[in-house]
Structure 1
């Protein structure tokens, strides 16, 4: 499947504790092996920002992680004015945050099939959400 990777997976991979590490890394490795992964620049920005703000991860560490562990396996799709036009309709129809609406627009406008995200806000949309089994 063609999957969109949301920022929360990247943040968790970057800030994982030893107890969480094995499960998260196995989940990510399984996604890489079995699917074609995509994201957009806004997700990379969110991952860097949240890792610094919430977990005090230095920018250099986050950037190195993205360069070494994300970019070789995840295709980064550009954001376009078409994505904005789609996103503004999603914000109004589903009361989404603008950044989440841009992610959904990226999915819709590029023929992706699901989102990999912990964020349950995506469940109110006609889109499949994939996350770790509890």
Structure 2
């Protein structure tokens, strides 16, 4: 599709983890799904201007 872009699957495990992360870090559902997907796939960097991710201790936030 696009060079350098990979589509990741979001299944039941990630959905369940997103509920935990939503409560733990005070994230909105979409943010929690992104954080859970990162955690599940071993991704530790995220580029975003959303300051809510600053609370997620397992992610390094890059402000574009």
TM-score, with normalisation over the residues of structure 1?
Answer: 0.44
2:12 aligned partner = 81
Which of 96, 101, 117 matches 2:32? 101
Unaligned segments of structure 1, at least 5 residues: 1-66
| CA root-mean-square deviation | 1.2
Q: Distance in 2 between matches of 1:86 and 1:98?
A: 11
Cα distance in structure 2, aligned partners of 1:116 and 1:110: 16
Query: Corresponding residue for 1:51?
Result: none
Q: State the number of aligned residues.
A: 63
Aligned residue in 1 for 2:45: 114
* Higher helix residue share: 1
Regions of 4+ moved over 4 Å: none
Task: Report the 3-state secondary structure (helix = DSSP H, G, I; strand = E; otherwise coil) of the residue aligned with 1:78.
Answer: coil
Structure 2 portions without partners, runs of 5+: none
Of structures 1 and 2, the one scoring higher in RCO (CA 8 A, sep 6+) is: 1
2:38 matches 1:90: no
How far is the alpha carbon of 1:93 from its aligned partner?
1.3
Structure 2 length as normaliser, TM-score? 0.88
SS of the residue corresponding to residue 9 of structure 2 reads coil
Larger radius of gyration: 1
